[in-house]
Amino acid sequence: MPRYPRADGRLDFKSLTLDEIRAEIEGVGSEDFRALQAYKWVWQRGARTFAEMNNIAKGARATFEERFYIPFLECEGVLESGDGTTKFLWKTEDGWQIESVLIPDGDRLTLCVSSQVGCAMACTFCLTGDLGLKRHLRPSEIANQPLQIRAGLLAGTRITNVVMMGMGEPLHNFDNLVAALHTYLSEDALGFSHRRVTVSTVGLVPAMRKLVDVLPVNLAVSLNATTEAQRSAVMPVNRKHSMAELLEACRELPILQHKRITFEYVMMAGFNDSMDDAARLVELMRGMKVKINLIPYNENPAREIRRPTDARVYDFQTVLVQAGVQCSVRSTRGIDISAACGQLGKADPRSATDWFARVRAQPGA
């Protein structure tokens, strides 16, 4: 696993697993105990320095300081939507901008996390795809998003769900994603239940198989079409891993024994929203325990793609539901701050407000 050393040779503490940290401090004495203490300080208490870890002996703290640094993302601003959705703009150490979106929905508070700077998948309906891939995010950058946002939430408020659906194709950054997910799921770190963590993918079939072998998280597959030609037209990945290959792999995944796979279906007017599409979708889903998420397209000036009418979405959903397929329509959130699906990467940071300071200034914070 990469350790992302700085020029002074110190390693990125947050990109390492607990075992890797233990191995790095060999010789300090009580490595197991010290490593666990520092790990909890960083992931559970949000420590910014080793100096503040006041229950760790001074000598051991000095060793940590010598060998590691504790990275954070710089928050460049926060955009708040009228519907309660909040978008965070982060700057990485080397100056790239990434985004996370926090979405309140009843008793759920879902965080949509980025896994790459830009994206290589070039789905035609998605603005993030226009950026191309700049670089993969490090494990620390993927895990710092919930850690840093959590620190700004009011007491008693917590992020209940995490979806890897922000900028990037998570499975294209497989090793770093898995390392970060270990941190998400570890009770000594972020402590999310695997039932509450979902990884979205365009269908990188070999990586999907590998992921469900190593981690029990939920899977969401971005389908968006009902024929091979249609899917290839909007998702170049289909030319490498066809829809037939993808659906066959989904049918065989061991995940199906205890979880449903979610299929995301971005509905684009006049392209994939006909009643024939709905009927084909029913057929494609046969034999799988699935949930379909219909996402009416979020229009933007950079695309000519139109959003279907509400009536069309309803009729489409009705065909699926009447055929016994579990299906919901995703409500559009954060449209006024470019935080909706497929819009990340085009925000204007000048309109940011100091969300963290304001939340902390609220009574009871």
Q: Which residue has the tokens 């309109």?
A: 351
- Where are the strands (E) in the chain, listed by range? 11-12, 68-69, 74-80, 86-91, 97-105, 108-112, 116-118, 133-136, 161-164, 197-201, 218-222, 261-267, 290-296, 326-329
Q: What are the φ and ψ backbone dihedral angles of 120, each rounded to 5 degrees?
A: -95, -5
**Considering the rule CB under 6 A, would residue 139 count as an interface residue with ligand SF4?**
no
Specify the 3-state DSSP secondary structure of 90.
strand
- Decide whether 146 or 342 has the Cβ nearer to ligand SF4: 342
Task: State the number of binding residues for ligand SF4 (CB under 6 A).
Answer: 12
- Decide whether 63 or 298 has the Cβ nearer to ligand SF4: 298
Query: In whole angstroms, what is the distance from residue 145 CA to residue 241 CA?
Result: 30
Piece of the chain touching ligand SF4 by CB under 6 A; list 75-83, 91-99, 119-127, 146-154: 119-127
CB of 199: closest distance to ligand SF4 in angstroms? 12
Secondary element (H or E) of residue 152: helix 139-152
Piece of the chain touching ligand SF4 by CB under 6 A; list 71-79, 121-129, 152-160, 244-252: 121-129
Whole-angstrom CA distances from 82 to 111, 306, 312, 337 are 17, 23, 26, 9
- Catalytic residue set: 99, 341
**Considering the rule CB under 6 A, would residue 264 count as an interface residue with ligand SF4?**
no
> Which of the 8 DSSP states describes residue 154?
P
- Decide whether 80 or 169 has the Cβ nearer to ligand SF4: 169
Q: Which region holds residue 257: left if phi is over 0, alpha if psi is between -120 and 50, else beta?
A: alpha
Class of residue 326 by CB neighbours under 10 A (exposed 0-12, middle 13-18, buried 19+): middle
CB of 212: closest distance to ligand SF4 in angstroms? 19
CB of 348: closest distance to ligand SF4 in angstroms? 19
Piece of the chain touching ligand SF4 by CB under 6 A; list 28-36, 91-99, 167-175, 203-211: 167-175
**Considering the rule CB under 6 A, would residue 121 count as an interface residue with ligand SF4?**
yes
Q: Which of 113, 142, 202, 327 binds ligand SF4 (CB under 6 A)?
A: 202
* C-alpha torsion sign, points 345, 349, 352, 356: positive
Q: Which two tokens stand for residue 88?
A: 């965070």
Query: In whole angstroms, what is the distance from residue 318 CA to residue 23 CA?
Result: 56
Piece of the chain touching ligand SF4 by CB under 6 A; list 73-81, 163-171, 184-192, 289-297: 163-171
**Considering the rule CB under 6 A, would residue 128 count as an interface residue with ligand SF4?**
yes
Specify the 3-state DSSP secondary structure of 284.
helix
Q: Which of 21, 119, 225, 268 binds ligand SF4 (CB under 6 A)?
A: 119
- 290-349 binders of ligand SF4 (CB under 6 A): 342
Piece of the chain touching ligand SF4 by CB under 6 A; list 51-59, 82-90, 120-128, 186-194: 120-128
Q: Which of 42, 81, 129, 268 binds ligand SF4 (CB under 6 A)?
A: 129
CB of 175: closest distance to ligand SF4 in angstroms? 18
* C-alpha torsion sign, points 111, 117, 123, 124: positive
Query: In whole angstroms, what is the distance from residue 29 CA to residue 320 CA?
Result: 61
Q: Which of 126, 199, 207, 281 binds ligand SF4 (CB under 6 A)?
A: 126
87 neighbors 79 (Cβ within 8 angstroms): yes
CB of 171: closest distance to ligand SF4 in angstroms? 9
CB of 345: closest distance to ligand SF4 in angstroms? 8
Q: Which residues bind ligand SF4 (CB under 6 A)?
A: 119, 121-123, 126, 128-129, 167-169, 202, 342
